Amino acid sequence: TAIKGIDERRLEKLVESFYARVRADDALGPIFNDAINDWPEHLEKLTAFWSSVMLTSGRYKGQPVPAHRKHGERITPELFERWLSLWNSTTAELMEPEAAAALQAKAARIAESLQLALFFKLPD
Ligand code: HEM
């Protein structure tokens, strides 16, 4: 059952506002601004992603790991901290408390598993 205060419209607004802040961020902005040409398409894709995660809509079909891996060493653990802190402040500002908490918890889990996929190396 869906969490109170989360629907497609609110997710779309959240994604729009989050990526506006990401683009304006000194550390995160350049990576996204270099990588993304079609911003409306990216925002639509990320709204579909969060809709799949929070509303189990199945709207997102994609592969986040290769999408991040192709940016190689530009994406670092420090940037993940920055991303999460921006996500936490944006959700806290725009969403009802219960919704914000659920969105923050999901993002933390996904960031953890993305970082394992990107950064974990067995010793040679
Ligand atoms: C796509 C950067 C963290 C979810 C992208 C793209 C960039 C990017 C540049 C576009 C990929 C492309 O070139 O096609 C980053 C950076 C992060 C970060 C710098 C943190 C340091 C996250 C986190 C999530 C996430 C924590 C999820 C909670 C996605 C998704 C896509 C995406 C779903 C679309 C992948 C696809 O094409 O299907 N990200 N990202 N990202 N990111 Fe991130």
Which residues sit with their C-beta closer than 6 Å to ligand 1?
28, 31-32, 35-36, 45-46, 49, 62-64, 67-68, 71, 75, 79-80, 83, 107, 110-111, 114
pLDDT score recorded for residue 121: 86
Q: pLDDT tens for residues 88-123?
A: 999 999 999 999 999 999 999 999 999 999 999 889
**Nearest to 103, CA basis, from 47, 44, 54, 48:** 54
- Atom index in ligand 1 nearest the CA of residue 45 equals 34
Domain ranges for the chain, please list them: 8-119
Nearest CA to ligand 1 atom 24: 111
Q: What is the mean pLDDT of residues 47-74?
A: 97
pLDDT score recorded for residue 30: 97
Which ipTM did the prediction report? Answer: 0.97
Average confidence score pLDDT of the chain? 97
pLDDT score recorded for residue 71: 95
CATH 1.25.40.10 corresponds to the domain 8-119: no
